[in-house]
Chain A
Amino acid sequence: MSAAVEIGYVAGGAWKRRALHAAAVLILAFLLLPIVIIILLSFSSGLYLQFPPPGFSLQWYERFFRDPQWMTSLWLSARVSMMCTALSVALGVLASIVLVRERFPGKTAVYVLILSPLIVPGIIIAIAVFFLFSRLHMMGSPVAMALGQAVLTLPLVVVIVSATLQGFDQRLEQAAIILGASPTRAFFHVTLPIISPGVISSALFAFLASFDELLVPLLLADPTTMTLPVRIWTTVTMQIDPTIVAVSSVLVAVALTVLVSAGALRRSRA
């Protein structure tokens, strides 16, 4: 590591550098430890959350996967997130095309509208969506949850796909057109295949964001339709059930999968 860390301190006191490294390691540990502890505890053979865990066991995972309520929630989360992802990717890709390529009056206003869910506090979007769907008597509807979550994931998709499109050489599209393809065919034969890693990336992150989302489905929930994060929430606030640890690990695994896939996609493009 000594050759690696070179910015700024060109061979100061060696102890200064080592102190800095130590601090960095500690802070890194701070970042990782909670997640590591959760994962460790999820494999615990103890009956309560005892640290360090007495032994290795898959009991909590079994409880999770055998429990009909948890499985209902898992399945609901998956469905809602898929709907949400499909919707936001479809809308977002189309919107990105226009935003990246066209100039028109009011473009800034459009950008503000599309990106503002990213800076509005989550609780406010959640209650806004809640008011709307309660008026429409759609409480507990998975479709309502998907629509509400799509408000949050759409800007995410636009940001990622816009960045991808900006790196796309439009002359490839022009070449396709002059060779006889209509603009639509040129898009499907040339543009889309080339930007697909970026589109898939955006889909992965949109899925993750909506899968992890708590507030929107929390306010829209009724006792029979709780997504996974909502069930974790109600369990955490009302009782102590170590199964949550296993569920949490599953969520960490989902996040890890998305990160690794996105990383692989980025490398495959280069």
Chain B
Amino acid sequence: MEQREPELPPAPAAGDGAGGRPASRGRGRTSLTGFLLLPALVFLAIFFAYPMIDIVVRSFADPGGFTLAHYGQVIEHPVYLRVFQITFEIAFTVTLLTLLLGYPLAYVLAGAGKLAASVIMACVLLSFFTNILVRTYAWMIILGPEGVINQLLRYEGLGDVKLLYNRYGVLIGMTYALLPYMVLTLYSVMRGIDRRFLQAARNLGASDWRAFWHVFLPLSLPGVVGGSLLVFILSVGYFITPRLLGGARDQMIAMVIEQHVELGVNWGFASALAIILLFLTTAGFMLYDRLVGLKALFESKV
């Protein structure tokens, strides 16, 4: 059966303008549809674009006018540099942990039969969509000095462990929170790996371990890179989990920003920090787009 002719344009009377003559209200239709976009654009301009620009402005402003003092503070005070360092440390570790846990789960999910796959996917999605506050609070209950783990340990006579209000708590909580992102990213890549590649490898003499190592793993690398980058970027901006589960030595950037805004004192400095954070995450996402492609990310959110 012959294909439809490729010349058919996608939209009815798509205002191409290049043709010249506006037949059947072609040009009128374009401006009408332009109207449809306007409300969303106006809304975002007022409540997103303008406020963001406002932050940039504030970061360079103090009562005296233009200043770089806010940014200067970040460099001058080792405290803030330390915060950045901690943030990256945590983000890096969380990325590693989610990769370690997420890879086997995604692997099993990708190869599972219909029923098993639905069950696993349902669990991952439930975790993904449940309120982050709830998921973090759950760890407070589990890790706390009177928490589930300590209760069980005491029952067995095994003494206490301190897993809350320290780095352990933050790492566990954030790994837990971001694991679904890693699993979903890895899964979407693994799902596309044609299992015939592996059959071919086995047929050509590779053991199952070598088929995995030489064929599957390399093919899953885009997912590894994508998932890791995604988790890292998201971790850098995290607030709720480290705030609830961490201690004095686990301050992340977002927490410092929030403190300064809440205390109402140095909004300019908070803005500068925010811009730096924004810069880092945007750079991260641009790298993500270069390596993997942002389009896939948005589509997979659905």
Are B261 and A127 within 8 A (Cβ)? yes
Known: A31-B180, A38-B141, A101-B10. A5 touches B44 (CB 8 A): no
Most buried by B among A41, A50, A121, A229: A121
Are A101 and B14 within 8 A (Cβ)? yes
Contact with B along A115-148 (1 / 0, CB 8 A): 1111111111101111110000000000000011
Q: Counting CB contacts under 8 A, is B237 at the interface?
A: yes
Contact with A along B99-127 (1 / 0, CB 8 A): 00110110111111111100010111111
Known: A41-B141, A124-B274. A28 touches B120 (CB 8 A): yes
Q: Counting CB contacts under 8 A, is A208 at the interface?
A: yes
Are B125 and A259 within 8 A (Cβ)? yes
Most buried by A among B47, B52, B125, B207: B47
Return the chain A residue nearest B239 by Cβ.
A123
Q: Which of A34, A90, A129, A158 contacts B142 (CB 8 A)?
A: A34
Contact with A along B192-226 (1 / 0, CB 8 A): 01010011001000011101100010000000000
Query: In the complex, how many residues of chain B place their beta carbon closer than 8 angstroms to a beta carbon of chain A?
Result: 106
Are B33 and A34 within 8 A (Cβ)? no
Tell me the smallest distance from the CB of A261 to a CB of chain B, in Å. 12
Tell me the smallest distance from the CB of A240 to a CB of chain B, in Å. 9
Q: Counting CB contacts under 8 A, is A71 at the interface?
A: no
Are A91 and B138 within 8 A (Cβ)? no
Q: Which of B48, B129, B274, B301 contacts A259 (CB 8 A)?
A: B129
C-alpha spacing A159/B34, complex, angstroms: 19
Are B301 and A255 within 8 A (Cβ)? no
Known: A102-B30, A124-B278. A6 touches B208 (CB 8 A): no
Tell me the smallest distance from the CB of A64 to a CB of chain B, in Å. 14
Contacts of A24 in B (CB 8 A): 104-105, 107-109, 120
- The binding surface of chain A is classed by DSSP as helix
Q: Counting CB contacts under 8 A, is B68 at the interface?
A: no
Are B12 and A174 within 8 A (Cβ)? yes
Q: Which of A20, A32, A114 contacts B44 (CB 8 A)?
A: A114
Are B131 and A8 within 8 A (Cβ)? no
Q: Counting CB contacts under 8 A, is A224 at the interface?
A: no
Tell me the smallest distance from the CB of B269 to a CB of chain A, in Å. 12
Q: Counting CB contacts under 8 A, is B90 at the interface?
A: no
Are A251 and B130 within 8 A (Cβ)? yes
Are A236 and B244 within 8 A (Cβ)? yes
C-alpha spacing A8/B112, complex, angstroms: 11
Q: Which of A51, A212, A214 contacts B152 (CB 8 A)?
A: A51
Are B199 and A94 within 8 A (Cβ)? no
Contacts of A21 in B (CB 8 A): 108
Q: Which of A3, A7, A92, A154 contacts B110 (CB 8 A)?
A: A7
Contacts of A248 in B (CB 8 A): 131, 133-134, 137-138
Tell me the smallest distance from the CB of B89 to a CB of chain A, in Å. 18
Are A219 and B261 within 8 A (Cβ)? yes
C-alpha spacing A113/B152, complex, angstroms: 50
Contacts of B258 in A (CB 8 A): 123, 127, 215, 219
Most buried by A among B126, B129, B285: B129
Contacts of B104 in A (CB 8 A): 20, 23-24, 27
- Interface hit among B35-43, B72-80, B160-168: B35-43
Tell me the smallest distance from the CB of B184 to a CB of chain A, in Å. 12
Are A121 and B281 within 8 A (Cβ)? yes
Q: Counting CB contacts under 8 A, is A237 at the interface?
A: yes
Tell me the smallest distance from the CB of B262 to a CB of chain A, in Å. 7
Q: Which of A48, A95, A237, A255 contacts B36 (CB 8 A)?
A: A95
Are A31 and B123 within 8 A (Cβ)? yes
Contacts of B147 in A (CB 8 A): 49, 51
Return the chain A residue nearest B130 by Cβ.
A255
Tell me the smallest distance from the CB of B244 to a CB of chain A, in Å. 7
Contacts of B22 in A (CB 8 A): none
Tell me the smallest distance from the CB of A160 to a CB of chain B, in Å. 5
Contact with A along B40-60 (1 / 0, CB 8 A): 110110011111101100100
Q: Which of A5, A48, A163 contacts B111 (CB 8 A)?
A: A5
C-alpha spacing A87/B43, complex, angstroms: 10
Return the chain A residue nearest B211 by Cβ.
A8
Binding site for A on B (CB under 8 A): 10-12, 14-16, 29-30, 32-34, 36-37, 39-41, 43-44, 47-52, 54-55, 58, 101-102, 104-105, 107-116, 120, 122-127, 129-135, 137-142, 146-148, 151-152, 176, 179-180, 190, 193, 195, 198-199, 202, 207-209, 211-212, 216, 233, 236-237, 239-240, 244, 254, 257-258, 261-262, 267, 270-271, 274, 277-278, 281-282, 285, 294, 298-299, 301-302
Extra 20 A-B pairs, beta carbons < 8 Å, given A10-B199, A131-B55, A154-B44: A8-B195, A8-B211, A12-B209, A31-B176, A37-B141, A51-B148, A97-B36, A102-B15, A119-B233, A122-B239, A124-B237, A124-B274, A127-B257, A127-B261, A131-B267, A170-B11, A177-B12, A236-B244, A248-B134, A259-B122
